[in-house]
Structure formats: C-alpha cells, structure tokens
C-alpha cells in the first residue's frame, strides 16, 4: 500500500450505504437490545412462576381484537413500502396517499390499543393486579403477568406513537412537496423504523397473546 | 435496497462562512469540538463532586465514632448534631457510597472517555468535517444536563439521595420502606435513563461516522488505535446501555406503579414473586461491558500517547486491535462473575470463571505491547507520557488483582470486601482516570490552542501517582483482613480490630489526592486563558488532527486530507528531517502495510 | 496494621488460602516483571536529542509468546479453581452426615433455626435463637440460607464462608465446618440498608459435649415446647 500518489482519491468506501441509513441501522441494533431486555425478563419471570399462577392469554386478553390490530400494523408496513416505491418513482400523489394511509393505520393501531387497555383496566387487570375468571369464579393470578404485559406492549405502543408522529410530519411535508423529485431517503429511513416496530409487534403478539 | 455512495461532505465548510451568535457557537453548537469541550467541563465538574463524596465517606471510615470535621455545615438530613460535633448518619453514608460510585461511573468517567474524546477525536483523526449527525450530537450532550441536575437535586429531597449502592440491587433498591429513600432513588433512576439515552445517541453517531466518513486512504487498519478503541466502545455502549435502560425502567415501575419485577412478595417466595436475581443478571449484562466501556478508550489513548512519547510505532498494532475486539466480545459473556456468591446456580460459576480468566489473555497482550512500544524508544517524559506510562503500571496491578476474584474459590472470601474496592479503583482510577489525565495534557493544545504548564503537570503526576497508591494499595490488605464494603462503622467486628491505622492513612492520603485535583484544575483553567500559544503539532505526532491549526476551525479541513500511512509512524529510517511521518504526507515513503511486521 | 487473611479454621479454607497464595505468587511475579520492565525502560531509553528510536512495528513471534504463556497459566489456574469450586459448592458432594441449620437474615439480624436434639429440621423440637449461631466443631455443617426482606450476605471470615441470602429463593445451601472450637462472627457482606454495618451475630463452634450442653440449656429455657 505504498506509492499511492493519487491526488483526488474518493473517500474511503464505508458500507456503500448513505450515512443516515447506516445511522438508522445502528440505532435499531440498540432498539433490539432494549426489547431483548424486556422480552428476556418476561421469559425468565414467566418460566420462573409456579404452575397455574400464570394465566393462559385467552383467559385475560381479547386475542381476537389484537389479532385484528396485528393485521392493521402489517397492512401499514405494506403501505409504507408503497410510499417508498412512490417516492422512488417520482409519484407525488402516491407518496401523499400512502404516507397518509400509513399514518392513519398506525393511529388506528394505537386507538385499538388504548381501547384494549381501557377494557382490561375496567376488568381489574393492571400492572399491579391480575384477575382471571375461571368457571365463573374470580381468581388472582401472578401480578407479574400484568407487569410484563403492560411494560412490553406499552413500550411498543410508545414506539408506534413516535412513529405515527414522524409519519404525520412526513405526510405534511409530502403535501408541501418535500419528497418530490426522487428524494426518497427520509421515507426509506422512516420505513426502516416502521418495519422494525412492526416486527417487534409480531414477536410480542406471538409470545404474549398466542403462547 | 438502493445503494448510494457515501454522502459528499462539504456542508460544514459552508457553515463556517456564517458568523454565529454566542448561543449557537458555545451553547447549542453542533460543532463536535465545542460539544467535546462542553462534555469536558461537565465531566470535570462531576469528577470533583464524585471526589468530594469520596472524601466525606473516607472520613467516616477512618474515624467512625468521631464527629465530622465541618459536619456542622451539613443539614440535619445528613448529620446528627450533638454537643461535641455533628455525626454522620448511616443514611447519608449509604447515599455517599451509592452516589460516589454512580456519579463517577455515569457522570464523570464514562462521558469523559466517550463524550469528550470520541467527539473531539473521531472526526479529527479520521479526516472528517464533523460527526455524521451533528444535531444528534448536540442532543446527546443536552440529555446529559437533566441527568446531572436530577442527580444533584436528589441529595436535597426528602429521604436523601439513593442509598442502595451503585449496583442498585433489588429488592433493596425497589422498596422505599426498606431503605427510607424514595424520591432520591427514583430521581437517580430517571437520571440513569437520560444517561442511557445520551450514550445511545452518541454511540449511533460515533459508529456511523467511523463506518462511513473516513478520509480517502484511511482504511480500517490505518485508523489510530484511539479511534479503534472508541469505535469498539461505542458498539459496547450501543448494545449494553439499552439493557440497563430497560432494567432501570422496570425498577422505576416497581417503585411507582406497583409492578413486582424484582420484588419477591414474601420471604417464602410464593408463586407471585418477582426475581431479585433477574435484576442482577440484567444489571451485570450491562455492567460488565460497561467496565470495558470505561477502560477501552483509556487503552486507546495510552497506546497513542506511548507511541508519540516513545517516538516509535505502536508495537503490534494489529494485535492491539484484535485484543480490543476480543475483550469487547468476551465482555458480553462474563457478567456472571459478579454473581458467584449471589445464589446463582454454582454450575454456571464454572462457565463464567473460564470466560473471565480468558480476558486476562488480551489484557496481557496489550500490556506487553505497551512495554514493547517503549522498548528501545527515545522516551519523551512530558506530562501526557508520564500519565500514559502510569496507566500501564497501574492497570497492570488492577488486571492482576482481577485474577484473584476470577478464581471462584478465592472469590468466596474476597467478594464484597475492600479487595474488590482496591481492584476497581486500580482499573478505574489508576487505569481510566490516569489515561484521561494523559489525554487532557496531550490534546489540550489542540482543543484550546494553548499549552498546559508542564511543571505543574509533572507535579500533578507525581502527587497523583504516589497518593493514589497510598490510598488504594492498602485496601488490598484491608480487604484481606475481611473488611466488608459499604459499612458505615466497622468497629464492632472482632476480625477488623487491626485495620484502624491503615484506614486512617488511606483517608489522609485520599484528602491529599482530592486536593491534588485542584492543582490540575488550576493548571487547566489558567492555561485556557494564559497558557503559551500552542503550535499545530507540539508533540511531533503523526495522526491527522495535528496537521490542522490548534484549535482547528469549524469544519476542521478546507480540503479533506488523503491518507498514505498507518497511524503511528515515528523514527522511520527514510524520513530524515524529523522523526515522525504524518499520515497524510510523503506518499513516496514506503511504510509497512497496515500493522504487518 | 493487619494486612493478612484472618486465621483459618475450616477445611475449605485451607484450599482457598492455598489458591490465594498461589495466585499471589503468580501475579506477584508478573507484577515484578511488568513494573520492573517499565522502570528499566524509563531509565534505559530516556530520550536524548542525539538518539533515534529503533523503528519496528512489532514481532509476530513475541505476540505468540505472550499470548500463549498467559493462556496456559490461565487454563491451569481456571481448571484448578473449577475443581475446588465444585468440591465446595456442588450440592451432590455435600456430606450425608452434616448437621443442618436454617439461617434467616432480615434487617438487621440473623435468626438461626436449630434442628434440636433429633438433629432434623422441620420437627417439633426445632428452636430459634436470634443472632447466635452455635454448632459443633469438627463436624460438617449445612446452612439453609433464607432472607425475609432484602439480599444479605452470610460471611464468616475465619471459616472462609460467604453466600448471599436472597429473598424469594429457598434453595440456597452452603456447607462448611470449623475444625476446632472457636468464637467468630457472622458479618453481612451485602449492603442491605441503614443497619447493614451492625448486622452481626456471634458464632460459636463448640466441642461436641459443650454443644450438647448448650442445646440442652436452650431447650430448658424455651420450656421444651
Ligand atoms: Cu465484571
Ligand atoms: Cu447487609
């Protein structure tokens, strides 16, 4: 590597990916560890609990409603992909339409989650209280069930909320023409985040609601 | 996925042309050098606070049954006032123990290693105009500010500051009824979440910058070891801090909204109970990488300063890089060695012993390579070099004393004694802080454009070296005698009868050590205003930051430099006019391909 | 000044102390090597303007040497430590004939449950004494460690015993002995609150006959319920 006398050398090649995207990837690694901490604790606590104190999900949670919510979130990932494709294709109308759709569906997810929390709390299922009805009799269950449930889904919801805020902002910018002319990077990065949040939800839905 | 080449860098240069308001220039600046300086002032302040807490604590340990000197000025929440003076309360002692560790680790040493030097050095040493995300960088400083304010405030709320140790072991930390501390603990945990956020934002920035913003010719194995160390540290922070944040948030919930992640509901351990050991696993999963967050950058500074001070290339550059990487990797699989006596399954102890002992190997490699760097050098013993050599000498002791606790049977005895306190201070003070002082003496001219006073610097070094050893070496002995950590009064124990004099000597030296910090502070502030003007390259160093003016202007370079050589080229036989070879000069000189030998 | 390990009374303590001194020897040697080397280099290679440093980037052979030597020492030390650890901590190796006690830590005292004359815990002749742990010297002892509130750590320096008591965990057991009669203390080694520093209990290792006599006196005092 000597005698490199070239004068105008290009910058050292990094990952051949633009900086903002690398940044988002790196940030998502950190997010993975955050949710790994929460989910890992859930697993340890659940398997450390004595038999019959940890209720079956369906005994406490309305799985059907949440399944619908999961479907919503997956749809929003699809619309997010459409928004990015539109941005790349210089399709200004498409950008507006799909970003708006993604924002609204994301907000819809949050709405359903708020409704779900409200219902659960009305049935005395809170972070510090757990009640199941078995054969018409109310029984207490491990309060860790509520502790972990609200912490995990709550932090996911918080991430959705942040996403919806950013999406709303991106939508407003779309109506101002910010993303026209192939300026798709911002949408791509937001998309990465949004898909991540979606993926986390699929994992959470599986381990909290299904298993 | 769409691919694109790295972002063209030119924005910073354009910004430079605009005159900036005071607020934009010094307070809400996005210039990495200004942010580094902000971090430096911030962390020096908390270093002083941490030291003050330590001195107060030491006084109680040396004279447990006597009133505090000047105790009368402290409020009734901290001391009990009697006719013959003011006596420290156990709750205040516990707060001191807890907050000394917390402040030093999270508000002083970690942000000083990373916030200051990653910010200052990464763009300058890689030949970039600024960080990848300057505004995020500013945010990472400003998220530290509420952390500091909350921490200071926690001393004055009802119940005082957190008192469950910096390791926050649950359920003590989770149940105010058992400590008497409620608000203080919550404030500190919130501060911790802010620290985590700041650290993650910083890490994203550093990692992205290193990956994508290196100057042409700055290949991976031409990066200065400082940058390597800071890069690996950033990865550790990125992956470890969020786990602490998650755990900290769960602990806040345990205290505030009635969850019970870490609280067993009763002594019988019935089915509803949370798990205290879960806290320890989460904490140490973060905590051990944290230990390396606190030492790897110091190793980087040391390698670099030793090369400059010895006028020789770093001995075994590639071995140094691989040692850094393997220490970081091992750092994630050894957390259980803090928990040998915790009630964790003893069989797990076996696995953790083996992985832990293996960390000794890369540590030994580094130590021998540092010595190899000095070997047959032409040693320039300026203050920075003295501290770097001091680092090697002290870190070696800290590393060796670590072998005792890695050996599980010996750990049975020395766990939770002052032997551990001695060990951690040889690593964190003799290690990290020595290297930090070295780094400040070394890069001060680049940061502020003036030289620090060398005479005062040398006096500061010798005072620090001697007093540091008088404080911490005897702690090994006190630990061997069986003195437990974090005890407010040891006089009631028959096996501790003989340790009084040692503890008093330690305390007297600790006061001196604290005082010697003010000599440094005087030199530091005096030099900012009155120091001799610094040349561009006062030490004859070869890395890129020394090829720009001191201090570098906004945007660092008018034209991005091109790199032709490895980072530490000194005394090259073909370069006869001087004994160093800048990374961006003399493309005609042949230097070995990165690190081969 | 007292800078040494306190006198040892236990069988495990012999091996622990031996390992301690072995490690001290090894690390002491490394200490002399490193610190001596540094001082020698500082003197020998002190800079002068007339000299130029030796230009080298390192030596692969040396790298291998100082990787392999520490690694070998580490493997041997680790292997030996693991064996000793297993002998002390592995519950399958606990002696059958050991006398079992339960010690319950709580802020800030140690309550000892004695098995009584039948030497079996959980029977009606069990009795509890606060802050006093008596047991027969020269016999194996097993302690079931419990905590009622926070984590405490059961530490008897002269017997080289230390183990955390964790609330909610009812499976922590430790095995030790005192070969000779002696008077010791249980100290708490884990920060457990305001009274952490004074959470101590007296420990008495009696000759067997004395232990029986003490136990009888306790039973009499408690009305032998
Ligand atoms: Cu560790
Ligand atoms: Cu205690």
The answer, yes or no, to whether residue B145 has pLDDT greater than 90, is: yes
pLDDT band at B338 (very low <50, low <70, confident <90, very high): confident
Q: Residue A91 sits in which domain range?
A: 16-210
Write down the ipTM of this complex. 0.95
The token pair that represents B174 in the structure block: 């989770």
Give C189: exposed, middle or buried? Use CB within 10 Å, 0-12, 13-18, 19+.
buried
Q: Is A70 exposed, middle or buried (0-12, 13-18, 19+ CB in 10 A)?
A: buried
The reply to whether residue A19 touches residue B564, judged by beta carbons under 8 angstroms, is: no
Q: Does A120 map to a domain?
A: yes
Kindly state whether residues C38 and C79 are assigned to the same domain.
Answer: yes
Pair C56, C106 in one domain: no
Rounded Cα–Cα distance for residues B402 and B231 (Å) = 25
Which residue is closest to B250 within chain A, CA to CA? A151
Which among A10, A14, A29 has the least Cβ separation from residue B238? A29
Taking only the tens place, the pLDDT of each residue in B92-144 is: 999 999 999 999 999 999 999 999 999 999 999 999 999 999 999 999 999 99
Asked whether residue A8 is domain-assigned, the answer is: no
Q: Do C57 and B478 touch (CB under 8 A)?
A: no
- Specify the residue for token string 């030490």: B539
Enumerate the H helices of B262-345 as residue ranges. Answer: 276-293, 296-310, 317-331
Write the DSSP assignment of chain C as a string of letters: ---SPPPP-SHHHHHHHHHHHHHHHHHHHHHHHHHHHHHHHHHHTB--TT---------HHHHHHHHHHHHHHHHHHHHHHHHHHHHHH-GGGS-TT-EEEEEEEETTEEEEEE-TTTT-TTSTT-EEEETEEEEETTS-EEEEEEESSS-EEEEEGGGTEEEEE-TT---EEEEE--SS-EEEEEEE-S--STTGGG--EEEEEE-HHHHHHHHHHHHHHTTT-
Domain boundary among C91, C120, C151: C91
Residues of C in contact with B178 (CB under 8 A): 107, 149-150, 193
**Residue C21 structural domain:** 11-91
Q: Which residues of B touch A53 (CB under 8 A)?
A: 271-272
Q: Is the residue at B375 inside a domain?
A: no
Assigned token pair, B339: 């928990």
Q: The domain that contains C186 carries what CATH number?
A: 2.60.40.420
C118 and C16 share a domain?
Answer: no
Q: What is the pLDDT of residue A7?
A: 46
The dihedrals phi and psi of C115, each to the nearest 5 degrees, come to -75, -10
Write down which residue in C71, C91, C111 finishes a domain.
Answer: C91
Whether residue C34 is predicted with pLDDT greater than 70 in this model: the reply is yes
B390 touches chain C (CB under 8 A): no
Q: Note residues around ion ligand 1 (Cβ under 5 angstroms).
A: B 288, 291
Count of domains for chain A: 1
How many A from CA of C192 to the centre of ligand 1? 21
Contact C164 B342 (CB under 8 A): yes
- Sheet containing C182-188, strands listed edge to edge, beginning at the edge strand earlier in sequence: C132-136, C201-206, C182-188, C152-156, C161-165
Kindly report, residue by residue over B274-306, the tens digit of the pLDDT: 889 999 999 999 999 998 999 999 999 999 999
Q: C146 CB contacts (<8 Å, ≥6 apart)? A: B267, C102, C103, C104, C105, C165, C170, C172
CATH of the domain at C47: 1.10.287.90
In a domain, A29, yes or no: yes
Widest Cα–Cα separation across chain A: 85
- Please tell me the predicted confidence (pLDDT) of residue A56: 85
Which 8-state DSSP code applies to residue B489? -
Is A169 a member of any domain? Answer: yes
Is position C217 within any domain? Answer: yes
The band of B272, judged by pLDDT with boundaries at 50, 70 and 90, is low
Residues C152 and C85 grouped into a single domain? no
Number of neighbouring beta carbons within 10 Å of residue B500 = 16
Residues C114, C25 share a domain: no
Q: Structural domain of residue B579, as residue ranges?
A: 533-597
Query: Looking at chain A, which residue has its C-alpha nearest residue B2?
Result: A17
Q: Does B208 touch chain C (CB under 8 A)?
A: no
Assess if residue B573 is contained within a domain. Answer: yes
Are both C83 and C110 inside the same structural domain? Answer: no
Contact A19, B6 (CB under 8 A): yes
Residues C18 and C103 in one domain: no
In a domain, C46, yes or no: yes
d(CA C149, CA C167): 6
The answer to whether residue A192 is domain-embedded is yes
Domain count of the fold of chain B = 1
Q: Please indicate, yes or no, whether residues C194 and C98 belong to a single structural domain of this protein.
A: yes
Q: What is the pLDDT of residue B76?
A: 87
Structural domain contains residue C136: yes
Q: How many structural domains does chain C have?
A: 2
Does the residue C107 lie in any domain? yes
Does the pLDDT value for residue C203 go beyond 90? yes
Based on the fold, state whether residues C115 and C85 are members of the same structural domain.
Answer: no
Residues B54 and B95 sit within 8 Å (Cβ to Cβ): no
User: Is residue B342 helix, strand or coil?
Assistant: coil
- Residue B367: both structure tokens together: 């130590």
Q: Is residue C1 part of a domain?
A: no
C144 and C37 housed in the same domain: no
Distance (Å, whole) CA B313 – CA B221? 14
Token pair of A146, please? 């509520």
> How far, in Å, is the centroid of ligand 2 from the Cα of B167?
14
Asked if B393 and C38 come within 8 Å (Cβ–Cβ), the reply is yes
* 3-class DSSP state of B64: coil
Whether A11 maps to a domain, the answer reads: no
Q: Mind listing the pLDDT tens digit for each residue in B153-182? A: 999 998 889 999 999 998 899 888 888 888
User: What is the Cα–Cα distance from B185 to B254, expressed in whole angstroms?
Assistant: 12
Contact (CB, 8 A) for C191 and B97: yes
The answer on C17 and C37 residing in a single domain is yes
Q: Which residues of A touch B562 (CB under 8 A)?
A: 6-7, 9
Q: Among A33, A45, A49, whose Cβ lies nearest the Cβ of B278? A: A45
Averaged pLDDT, B518-544: 95
Which CATH number do you get for residue A176? 1.20.120.80
Does C4 fall in a domain? Answer: no
Is C114 found in the same domain as C81?
A: no
Please give the DSSP secondary-structure letter assigned to residue B379: B
Query: pLDDT band at A6, cuts 50/70/90?
Result: very low
- Torsion angle, alpha carbons of A153, A157, A163, A169, to 10: 180
Name the token pair of B310. 């010895």
């Amino acid at each position: 590597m000597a005698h490199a006398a070239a004068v105008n050398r290009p910058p050292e090649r990094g990952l051949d990916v633009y900086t903002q995207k690398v940044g988002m990837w790196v940030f998502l690694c950190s997010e993975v560890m955050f949710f790994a901490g929460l989910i890992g604790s859930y697993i340890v606590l659940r398997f450390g609990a004595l038999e019959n104190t940890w209720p079956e999900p369906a005994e406490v949670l309305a799985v059907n409603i949440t399944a619908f919510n999961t479907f919503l979130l997956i749809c929003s990932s699809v619309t997010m992909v459409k928004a990015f494709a539109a941005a790349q294709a210089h399709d200004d109308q498409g950008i507006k339409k799909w970003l708006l759709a993604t924002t609204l569906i994301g907000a819809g997810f949050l709405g359903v989650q708020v409704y779900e929390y409200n219902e659960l709390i009305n049935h005395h299922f809170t972070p510090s209280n757990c009640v199941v009805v078995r054969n018409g009799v109310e029984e207490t269950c491990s309060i860790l069930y509520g502790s972990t449930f609200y912490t995990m889904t709550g932090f996911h919801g918080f991430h959705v909320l942040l996403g919806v805020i950013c999406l709303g902002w991106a939508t407003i910018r779309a109506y101002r023409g910010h993303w026209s002319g192939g300026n798709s990077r911002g949408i791509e990065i937001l998309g990465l985040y949004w898909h991540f949040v979606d993926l986390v939800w699929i994992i959470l839905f599986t381990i909290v609601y299904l298993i | 996925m769409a691919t694109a080449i790295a972002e063209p860098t030119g924005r910073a240069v354009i910004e430079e042309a605009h005159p900036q308001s005071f607020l934009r220039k010094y307070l809400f600046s996005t210039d990495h050098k200004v942010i580094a300086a902000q971090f430096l002032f911030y962390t020096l302040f908390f270093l002083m606070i941490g030291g003050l807490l330590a001195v107060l604590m030491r006084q109680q340990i040396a004279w447990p049954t006597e009133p505090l000197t000047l105790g009368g000025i402290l409020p009734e929440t901290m001391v009990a006032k009697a006719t013959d003076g003011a006596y420290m309360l156990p709750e205040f002692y516990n707060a001191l123990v807890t907050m000394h560790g917390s402040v030093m680790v999270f508000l002083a040493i970690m942000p000083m290693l990373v916030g200051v030097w990653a910010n200052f050095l990464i763009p300058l040493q890689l030949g970039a105009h600024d960080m990848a995300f300057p505004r995020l960088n500013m945010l990472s400083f400003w998220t530290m500010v509420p952390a500091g304010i909350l921490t200071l405030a926690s001393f004055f709320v009802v119940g005082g500051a957190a008192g469950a140790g910096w390791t926050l072991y649950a359920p003590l930390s989770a149940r105010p009824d058992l400590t008497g501390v409620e608000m203080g603990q919550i404030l500190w945990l919130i501060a911790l979440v802010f620290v985590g956020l700041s650290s993650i934002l910083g890490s994203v920035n550093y990692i992205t910058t290193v990956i994508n913003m290196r100057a042409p010719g700055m290949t991976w194995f031409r990066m200065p070891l400082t940058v390597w160390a800071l890069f690996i540290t950033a990865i550790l922070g990125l992956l470890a801090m969020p786990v602490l944040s998650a755990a900290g948030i769960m602990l806040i919930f345990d205290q505030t909204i009635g969850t019970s992640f870490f609280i067993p509901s009763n002594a019988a351990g019935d089915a509803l109970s949370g798990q205290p050991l879960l806290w320890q696993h989460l904490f140490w999963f973060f905590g051990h990488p944290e230990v390396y967050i606190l030492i790897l950058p110091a190793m980087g500074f040391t390698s670099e300063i030793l090369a400059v001070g010895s006028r020789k290339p770093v001995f075994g550059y590639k071995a140094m890089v691989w040692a850094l990487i393997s220490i970081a990797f091992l750092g994630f699989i050894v957390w259980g060695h803090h928990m040998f006596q915790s009630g964790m399954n003893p069989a797990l102890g076996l696995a953790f012993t083996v992985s832990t002992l293996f960390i000794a190997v890369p540590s030994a490699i580094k130590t021998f390579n540092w010595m190899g760097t000095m070997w047959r050098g032409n040693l320039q013993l300026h203050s920075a070099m003295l501290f770097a050599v001091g680092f090697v000498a002290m870190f070696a002791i800290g590393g060796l004393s670590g072998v005792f606790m890695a050996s599980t049977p010996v750990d049975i005895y020395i766990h939770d004694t002052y032997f551990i306190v001695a060990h951690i201070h040889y690593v964190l003070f003799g290690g990290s802080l020595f290297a930090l002082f070295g780094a400040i003496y070394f890069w001060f001219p680049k940061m502020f454009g003036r030289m620090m006073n060398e005479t005062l610097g040398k006096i500061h070094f010798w005072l620090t070296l001697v007093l540091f050893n008088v404080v911490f070496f005897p702690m090994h002995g006190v630990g061997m005698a069986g003195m437990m950590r974090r005890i407010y009064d040891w006089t009631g124990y028959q096996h501790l009868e003989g340790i009084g004099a040692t503890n008093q000597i330690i305390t007297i030296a600790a006061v001196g050590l604290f005082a010697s910090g003010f000599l440094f502070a005087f030199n530091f502030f005096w030099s900012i205003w009155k120091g001799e003007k610094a040349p561009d390259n006062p030490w004859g160093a070869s890395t890129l930051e020394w090829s720009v003016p001191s201090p570098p202007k906004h945007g660092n370079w008018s034209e991005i430099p091109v790199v032709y050589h490895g980072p530490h080229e000194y005394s090259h036989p073909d370069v006869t006019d001087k004994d160093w070879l800048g990374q961006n000069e003399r493309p005609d000189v042949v230097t070995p391909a990165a690190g081969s030998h | 000044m007292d800078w040494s390990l306190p006198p040892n009374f236990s069988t495990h303590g012999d091996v622990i102390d031996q390992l301690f001194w072995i490690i001290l020897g090894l690390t002491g040697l490394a200490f002399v090597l490193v610190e001596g080397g540094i001082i020698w280099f500082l003197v020998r290679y002190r800079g002068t303007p007339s000299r130029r440093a030796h230009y080298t980037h390192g030596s692969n052979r040396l790298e291998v040497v100082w990787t392999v030597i520490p690694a070998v020492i580490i493997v041997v030390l680790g292997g030996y430590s693991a064996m000793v650890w297993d002998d002390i901590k592995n519950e399958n190796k606990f002696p059958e004939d050991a006398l079992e006690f339960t010690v319950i830590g709580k802020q800030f005292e140690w309550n000892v449950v004695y098995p009584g004359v039948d030497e079996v815990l959980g029977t009606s002749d069990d009795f509890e004494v606060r802050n006093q742990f008596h047991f027969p010297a020269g016999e194996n002892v097993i302690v079931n460690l419990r905590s009622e509130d926070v984590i405490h750590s059961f530490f008897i320096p002269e017997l080289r015993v230390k183990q955390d008591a964790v609330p909610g965990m009812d499976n922590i057991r430790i095995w030790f002995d005192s070969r000779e009669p002696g008077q010791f203390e249980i100290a708490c080694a884990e920060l457990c609150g305001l009274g952490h520093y004074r959470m101590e209990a007296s420990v008495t290792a009696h000759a067997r006959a004395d232990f029986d006599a003490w136990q009888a006196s306790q039973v009499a005092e408690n009305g032998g319920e």
